[in-house]
């Protein structure tokens, strides 16, 4: 009987719809009222979804930034694995509300949530 | 000790982030279960060694191995299982994470 | 001990063997006496479309109906169906077009374990 779910975001933005789909799933869990904690953790290429300067309008795609903002409206937390992001693009400004996290904290998140699903 | 079962579906030659198993698993008990083309990890020496560096045990679906022509005992950290045993493992480990 | 397994499918019916794997896992879990919930999201909604008649490969739609007859609950995402032109009334028997907010959240709240089958 789970009350919490962690969405592990592993794919880069806009090449696939995975991050957007994962963020919408996270939002729906909170909106339902039956799941009290629904969190997004960006790892690997998924960390690129945290880049503040993304402009999906350039290719006519729905915005992952808006998906993150919508989640924040329901107090859903979004974390980015700091080392993975730095390894890929250096130290970039993040979408507002996204929190940097270490592997140690990421491991805690895995066991703080009863279920984990990967996008 | 907390435990994680990593679910793997893709061939070792596809884009798979094996480091994620170590990074997310940390000191937890870690295992991988190989379905579909991921069973090739059991047959590919370099890939099996690499995977074994990241997890404590590896479970391989015997039907998927047999379908690909490798109906054998894989040995080492690798052990063949059927779907019923896969369900038992899913229930036994604290978390399942698809890589 | 009877537990509840949630299988989260995001691969399409004919793009790889993922939907066949879902059927095999679900059958094994039912054989063990567990409850089974399957939620199709993204491309994972396509197996429930009625009328798919693969000539040589297993008919996943028929297998889903058999799973439902054995007690599995099978729901797919309505928004994802609309995006792919699949509408209510076109589901294989035993499956349902539903929503993340109403159905997946319920599945999550009931689940002891989740397995994500996706690429």
- Give CA–CA dist A68/A77, Å, rounded: 9
Q: Which residues in chain A have their CB less than 8 angstroms from residue C81's CB?
A: none
State the CATH number of the domain containing residue A64: 3.40.1260.10
Q: Report the 3 state secondary structure along A32-99.
A: HCCCCEEEEEECHHHHHHHECCCCHHHHCCCCHHHHHHHHHHCCCCEEEEHHHHHHHHCCCCECCCEE
Residue position matching structure tokens 């895995």: A110
Partner residues linked to A87 by β-bridges: none
Is C8 part of the contact surface with chain A (CB cutoff 8 Å)? yes
Range of the domain at B54: 3-98
Q: Which residues in chain B have their CB less than 8 angstroms from residue C28's CB?
A: 82-84, 86-87
What's the pLDDT at B71? 75
Is B16 part of the contact surface with chain A (CB cutoff 8 Å)? no
- Give CA–CA dist C13/C92, Å, rounded: 13
Q: Which residues in chain C have their CB less than 8 angstroms from residue B9's CB?
A: 18, 21, 117, 119
Query: Does the structure's ipTM exceed the value 0.90?
Result: yes
Range of the domain at C16: 4-117
Q: What's the token pair of residue C109? A: 């709240």
pLDDT tens digit at each of 119 positions of chain A: 899 999 999 999 999 999 999 999 999 999 999 999 999 999 999 999 999 999 999 999 999 999 999 999 999 999 999 999 999 999 999 999 999 999 999 999 999 999 999 99
- Give CA–CA dist B97/A114, Å, rounded: 11
Instruction: Name the residue in chain B with its Cα closest to that of C29.
Output: B87
State the CATH number of the domain containing residue B81: 3.40.1260.10
Say if the Cβ atoms of C105 and A115 lie within 8 Å: no
Say if the Cβ atoms of A103 and B20 lie within 8 Å: no
Which chains contact C through at least 3 pairs of Cβ atoms less than 8 Å apart?
Answer: A, B
Q: Which residues in chain C have their CB less than 8 angstroms from residue B83's CB?
A: 24-25, 27-28
In total, how many domains does chain A have? 1
Is B86 part of the contact surface with chain C (CB cutoff 8 Å)? yes
Instruction: Please give the span between the terminal C-alpha atoms of chain B, in angstroms, as a whole number.
Output: 21
Contacts with B66 (C-beta within 8 Å, 6 or more apart), sequence order: none
Pick among C100, C110, C112 to test the A interface (most A CBs inside 10 A): C100
DSSP state of C73: E
C53-75 pLDDT per residue, tens: 999 999 999 999 999 999 999 99
Range of the domain at A63: 4-118
> pTM above 0.90?
yes
Q: Which residues in chain A have their CB less than 8 angstroms from residue B23's CB?
A: 43, 103, 106
CB A49 within 8 A of CB A12: yes
């Amino acid at each position: 009987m789970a009350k919490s779910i962690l969405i592990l975001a592993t794919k880069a933005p806009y090449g696939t719809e995975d991050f957007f789909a994962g963020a919408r799933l996270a939002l729906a869990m909170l909106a339902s009222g039956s799941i009290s904690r629904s969190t997004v953790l960006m790892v690997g290429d998924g960390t690129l979804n945290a880049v503040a300067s993304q402009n999906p309008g350039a290719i006519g795609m729905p915005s992952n930034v808006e998906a993150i903002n919508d989640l924040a409206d329901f107090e859903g937390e979004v974390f980015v694995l700091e080392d993975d992001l730095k390894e890929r693009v250096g130290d970039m400004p993040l979408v507002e509300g996204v929190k940097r996290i270490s592997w140690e904290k990421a491991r805690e998140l895995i066991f703080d949530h009863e279920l984990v699903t990967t996008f | 000790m907390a435990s994680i079962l990593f679910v793997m579906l893709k061939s070792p030659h596809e884009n798979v982030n094996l480091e994620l198993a170590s990074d997310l698993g940390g000191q937890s008990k870690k295992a991988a279960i190989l379905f579909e083309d991921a069973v090739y990890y059991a047959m590919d020496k370099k890939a099996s060694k690499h995977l074994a560096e990241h997890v404590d045990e590896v479970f391989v679906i015997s039907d998927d191995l047999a379908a690909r022509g490798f109906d054998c005992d894989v040995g080492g950290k690798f052990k063949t299982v059927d779907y019923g045993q896969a369900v038992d493992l899913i229930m036994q480990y604290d978390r399942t994470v698809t890589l | 001990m009877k537990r509840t397994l949630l299988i989260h499918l995001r691969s399409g019916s004919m793009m790889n063997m993922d939907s066949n794997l879902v059927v095999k896992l679900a059958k094994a879990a039912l054989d063990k006496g567990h409850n089974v919930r399957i939620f199709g999201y993204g491309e994972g909604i396509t197996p429930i479309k009625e009328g798919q008649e693969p000539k040589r490969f297993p008919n996943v739609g028929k297998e889903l109906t058999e799973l439902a007859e054995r007690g599995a609950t099978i729901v797919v995402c309505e928004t994802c169906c609309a995006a792919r032109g699949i509408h209510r009334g076109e589901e294989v028997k035993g499956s349902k077009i539903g929503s993340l907010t109403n159905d997946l959240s319920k599945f999550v709240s009931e689940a002891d374990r989740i397995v994500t089958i996706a690429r």
